[in-house]
Amino acid sequence: GNSVTQMEGPVTLSEEAFLTINCTYTATGYPSLFWYVQYPGEGLQLLLKATKADDKGSNKGFEATYRKETTSFHLEKGSVQVSDSAVYFCALSDPGRGSTLGRLYFGRGTQLTVWP
Amino acid sequence: DTEVTQTPKHLVMGMTNKKSLKCEQHMGHRAMYWYKQKAKKPPELMFVYSYEKLSINESVPSRFSPECPNSSLLNLHLHALQPEDSALYLCASSQVGSGGREQYFGPGTRLTVT
């Protein structure tokens, strides 16, 4: 089946520190992979995506590379800011099966807190 | 424009009330979704509409009744809810077709059942 495993949180960093949030997946087909971010009191925002192996998604200084050999999609940022404090969800979409049409599989979420 | 709007932002209802949540998108997406999210948890899929037809119902209790009046609108009718139904209800939309589909989420409706 399809599943996503995210590193346990919470993650607490000082401003300008390097961020890595690990994400690995299991999929029956050829999934697309996503990172979503949820700020307090808000809905989920699409942060970045990758649709095939070796694709790198990037946005707002965040990056993640689709690694098929390690079934991973780790989120990285070189220098975090206080405004990056949020919950980050790794997710996959497996488009190949009729019964799972449109379904997103989410990881548990990782709370990131950045201190000034 | 990648905006999905939801109303109301907050809703408090008693267990005998009937209320509705509304969702709207103008991105031309033909798939729309309802999710329930509890605090500190990922969203849980409730319903999926594809081309205005219900395609997935994740065994949601009948006190939740979805409706898709047209390709831009999605409603969730609520009746006789329980306190454990208190949660953030998120609407999302996406394109339909082959290939991975990102979903665009609305800001959610914070529901409290008293």
* 3-state SS assignment for residue B108: coil
Which amino acid belongs to residue A33? L
Largest CA distance in chain B: 43
Q: Do A102 and B96 touch (CB under 8 A)?
A: yes
CA angle B88, A87, A31 (to 5 degrees): 90
Give residue A30's pLDDT.
81
The answer to whether the Cα torsion of A91, A95, A96, A102 is positive or negative is positive
Give how far the C-alpha of residue B95 lies from the chain's centroid of Cα atoms, to the nearest Å. Answer: 16
**pLDDT classification of B1: cutoffs 50, 70, 90:** low
- Residues in chain A within 8 Å Cβ distance of B104: 46
- Residues in chain A within 8 Å Cβ distance of B96: 101-102
Interface-testing mutation among B98, B103, B109, with chain A (most A C-beta atoms within 10 A): B103
pLDDT in tens, B73-110: 999 999 999 999 999 999 999 988 755 688 999 999 99
B53 touches chain A (CB under 8 A): no
Give residue A95's pLDDT.
65
Query: Strands A32-38 and B104-105: what pairing?
Result: unpaired
Those residues whose C-beta lies under 8 Å from the C-beta of residue A42, and which sit 6 or more positions away, are B107, B108
Comparison of pLDDT for A4 and B100, the residue scoring more: A4
A51 touches chain B (CB under 8 A): yes
pLDDT in tens, A49-101: 999 999 999 999 999 999 999 999 999 999 999 999 999 999 999 765 554 56
A107 touches chain B (CB under 8 A): yes
* 3-state SS assignment for residue A84: helix
- Residues in chain B within 8 Å Cβ distance of A42: 107-108
Give residue B99's pLDDT.
59
Residue B52 CB: number of other CB atoms within 10 A? Answer: 15
- Residues in chain A within 8 Å Cβ distance of B45: 103-104
Q: Do B102 and A109 touch (CB under 8 A)?
A: no
Those residues whose C-beta lies under 8 Å from the C-beta of residue A85, and which sit 6 or more positions away, are A112, A113, A114
